[in-house]
A and B are shown apart, each in its own frame.
Chain A
């Protein structure tokens, strides 16, 4: 289907000289709302899934644990595939659509799945969908925003996304309160949110075709995507920095466990740690993104890891439990605000346009894989040294890594970026 440029005011907006007046374009808002709806859907299900599986389906901790494990690992693997597909076809919108659609279909089957195997299949499908859609979506944000406002654009997107994540559990429990035992109502409403997200993307999402637009603007069509584009001299230092810092980024779970171990706090608060971190992230995503635009995104990305160093220390240093908890969650939220969207904002511009999605996917995969290694390694360190010493060690190592990475900041922030 050919779409005339007139259908997309966004395009005019970003190519016109007045674009600086509204740096966060319609594309970012639409994609942010798609993420919001989708996150309401997925988080309302995750919030009730433990209760649903144990009380209705009748599964135990172990079966649930296996499913939860699946939930995590799968999406990193398919991310590069989604990036490649998006760049090869020059159709990020429809690849993202496929990803969102797959997750929506998984919700349908969750209604009928009973038993561990069925639920595992559903959960895996959902995560594959997430893996496919993330990079193309970020590439669309990247392509539709003027370079100087990328940090803020990603901040706005991540804020909307996190609002959805916060609303999901709220909606789920209001429904359960209205209809006691009405888990199927939650699942149906969750499906409706997922479908609304898919419809919003399909109908109002921008069909951005970076390669073709590039051809219309500058004449020659950029060459098709080749894997070699990912070895771009501008991208390599970013991947190296992300990998180095990722290797010293242990999972949130460990930080929360250290926090529990350190004080005499009831495990009852454990789920609320996630809520606290999300809240901090939600509030800080936009301001930190704007700061990144002003002082340099690579600088914020690297310095954001100092907040993580702070969170490590805060979780084990002897202070009052309240101070330790608030400090840790706030610092952790800052860390996510300074890294999650910022990595995508950086990576998309350090490769040629035809490799934009794959570039973002590559950076996100490096981050995900190194963090998985980090958590495995940290598990052993915790076992050998105990929580306190292990946290102090990894905090010291990460501080050193930040110093090392800081020597690359200037090169990254001053690299020639793809428009």
Chain B
């Protein structure tokens, strides 16, 4: 081949690539736009109809014009008509008093924030977040907000990842800052590792909470105290805890294939006895902070394997041999408001 033929061949390849990528982008763009203008499959109902009764608040993930907005269904009819609130959140946590909503605003400098909304879905406060939203929870009376994001530098010589988990008062006020700055006690010893990460807060009350602490490749379930600024380990190998409504049990993810891959399943631990039950027939490869539907049942979101971006909310009894059931289609990040 002469130099000219090679140059020509290169130009042909580039033109072919530009055309192929262009056609794909335009087609995909059109398809996404068509999807995003379609009406949701699920029947709809006005928000007013579900404000007073016990309900489940979640992120709607159907590929339609309500994609990503927060929806509400009655607790006694989770598969029924859903009410769309107009608030768009990546992660959402709700109480009767208000809502914590984590938002991503993509752009060259993608920004993230936590918005606090009142019971009528009006914004009362917002704070920038230092990274990609991962978890949020409210305290039982709705006065405290916990957020977990993960901070990652993109590009070139970047390395590693880090979480940032913060607690602050709903609507502004006291900020406890990054929980990594709290005193950490693991297995009875005060430690101060540089590689620590804290994530997945669940509140017991306005002082005590549970969370995950990780260092040196291991994870712990820790009990935190906001006044004393301490984190004390309860037991090892537990991630993303969720405290049951009666405060007696904690459900969390455990890696059942440690060392090789990360395959999470749900386990439930009795706080009084320390006895741990693995939900043997529960979801494998779950990656969500679970939520309690009631004192015996657990809720969690699971991505659909065949439809990127679409997730469903499942429920499973907190027993060793319970089978999961599909509870709400096209849903993510569920919280129960009683």
Contact surface of A with B, Cβ cutoff 8 Å: 7, 43, 46-47, 49-51, 54-66, 68-69, 72, 114-117, 162, 165, 168-170, 173, 175-185, 188-189, 191-192, 195-196, 199-200, 203-204, 251-253, 256, 266-268, 270-275, 277-278, 336, 375, 379, 382-383
Contact = CB atoms under 8 A, between A and B. Distances in A.
Nearest to B260: A117
A202 B288 CA distance: 45
Interface in B196-244: 197, 199, 214, 219, 239-240
A333 B56 CA distance: 51
A396 B338 CA distance: 60
Given A182-B32, A185-B28, A267-B131, 5 more contacts: A56-B308, A176-B106, A183-B308, A268-B129, A270-B131
A207 to B, nearest CB: 11
Interface stretch (B16-24, B76-84, B272-280): B16-24
Contact of A195 (B9, B13, B107, B134): B13
B48 interface: no
A contact patch SS: helix
A340 to B, nearest CB: 9
B134 A54 contact: yes
- Most A CB within 10 A of own CB, among B154, B261, B287: B154
Contact of A64 (B150, B155, B159, B214): B150
A358 to B, nearest CB: 24
B160 interface: yes
Contacts of A49: 154
Interface string B266-299: 0000000000000000000101100000000000
20 contacts: A7-B2, A46-B158, A50-B131, A58-B311, A59-B287, A60-B134, A61-B161, A173-B108, A179-B28, A181-B36, A183-B308, A188-B21, A196-B13, A196-B14, A199-B14, A200-B10, A268-B130, A270-B130, A271-B109, A274-B155
B45 interface: no
Contacts of B133: 54
A251 B13 CA distance: 39
B314 to A, nearest CB: 13
Contact of A199 (B3, B10, B67, B132): B10
Given A55-B90, A275-B155, A189 B110 contact: no
A178 B22 CA distance: 12
Interface stretch (B115-123, B136-144, B187-195, B318-326): B187-195
B124 interface: no
B17 A196 contact: yes
Contacts of A196: 13-14, 17
B155 A278 contact: yes
Contacts of A179: 25, 28-29, 32
The 9 closest A-B pairs by CB, nearest first: A267-B130, A58-B303, A61-B150, A192-B21, A65-B161, A199-B13, A179-B29, A192-B17, A274-B153
Given A272-B109, A275-B155, A66 B262 contact: yes
A274 B157 CA distance: 8
B41 to A, nearest CB: 18
A181 B9 CA distance: 34
A253 B160 contact: yes
B327 to A, nearest CB: 17
- Most A CB within 10 A of own CB, among B3, B129, B302: B3
A278 B158 CA distance: 11
Contacts of A59: 287
Contact of B155 (A7, A165, A182, A185): A165
A278 B28 contact: no
Contact of A173 (B107, B156, B159): B107
A200 B14 CA distance: 9
B6 A204 contact: yes
Contact of B160 (A65, A192, A203): A65
A253 B152 CA distance: 10
Given A60-B134, A199-B14, A185 B261 contact: no
Given A51-B104, A179-B28, A63 B287 contact: yes
Nearest to B30: A179
B156 A274 contact: yes
B28 to A, nearest CB: 5
Contacts of A383: 192-194
Given A54-B132, A185-B24, A268-B129, A169 B108 contact: yes
A266 B166 CA distance: 13
B278 to A, nearest CB: 19
Nearest to A39: B156
A63 to B, nearest CB: 5
Given A116-B262, A189-B21, A192-B17, A253 B158 contact: yes
A55 B104 contact: yes
B111 interface: yes
Nearest to A47: B154
Nearest to B219: A62
A204 B11 CA distance: 11
B28 A184 contact: yes
A200 B167 CA distance: 52
B151 interface: yes
